[in-house]
Amino acid sequence: MNHHVEVLLSEEEVDRRINEIGKQISKDYAGKEVHLICVLKGGSFFLCELAKRIDVPVSLDFMSVSSYGKDTKSSGVVKIVKDLDESIKGKNVLVIEDIVDSGRTLSYLMELLKDREPASLRLCTLLDKPERRVVDVKVDYTGFQVPDEFVVGYGLDYDQLYRNLPYIGVVKFD
Ligand code: IMP
Ligand code: MG
């Protein structure tokens, strides 16, 4: 479909906000280690920028999930495409996601991770679309709340494109 991308949040705005979140996380986890779990692929750009701004010891792991086709909408079940490499038992886990939309993916994922007995479990998302929420999810750190529009950049894609944009854009259909 013919479309173009308009800037919603500039590179400077996003960088500034990630700096603030990094400082907040460093404060909240002072004296502890934090284990960041990046949800691929969308969370990867945010993870890298954020991790550089956290000054407590950081370890990383990656997970990839995908929807079970149409059924996901009702069941909220997601398929683990790539599981974590390491156990999270006893660790202070912070999940890093690109966007919380309906909340289905994250509510499923957070329950699954909770069962693996981390010492603590929190969620950090770059973007939140609260208007779209269907399933309740507790978000501990949010970069920005965005309107109900399709956003791209900073890891977020439209048909696998635009993940590399250094800003958050909105897809406008012409
Ligand atoms: P949820 O389970 O509906 O919260 O789905 C969240 C996932 O859908 C995110 O991790 C994104 O991969 C994708 N998603 C939701 N909204 C957008 C958007 O505006 N742009 C790009 N991807 C999105
Ligand atoms: Mg995602």
Cβ(76) to ligand 1 under 6 A?
Answer: no
CA-wise closest residue to 125 among 112, 139, 114: 139
- Give the Å distance between the CA of 146 and the centre of ligand 2: 15
| Cα separation values, 15 from 52, 73, 89, 156, 169, Å | 12, 33, 32, 16, 15
The string of pLDDT tens digits covering residues 52-110 is 999 999 999 999 998 765 554 556 678 999 999 999 999 999 999 999 999 999 999 99
Q: Report if pTM > 0.75.
A: yes
Strands 141-145 and 78-82, how do they pair?
Answer: unpaired
Domains of the chain plus CATH, in order, are 10-148 (3.40.50.2020)
- Give the Å distance between the CA of 48 and the centre of ligand 1: 19
User: What is the token pair recorded at 13?
Assistant: 């705005």
Strands 3-9 and 168-173, how do they pair?
Answer: antiparallel
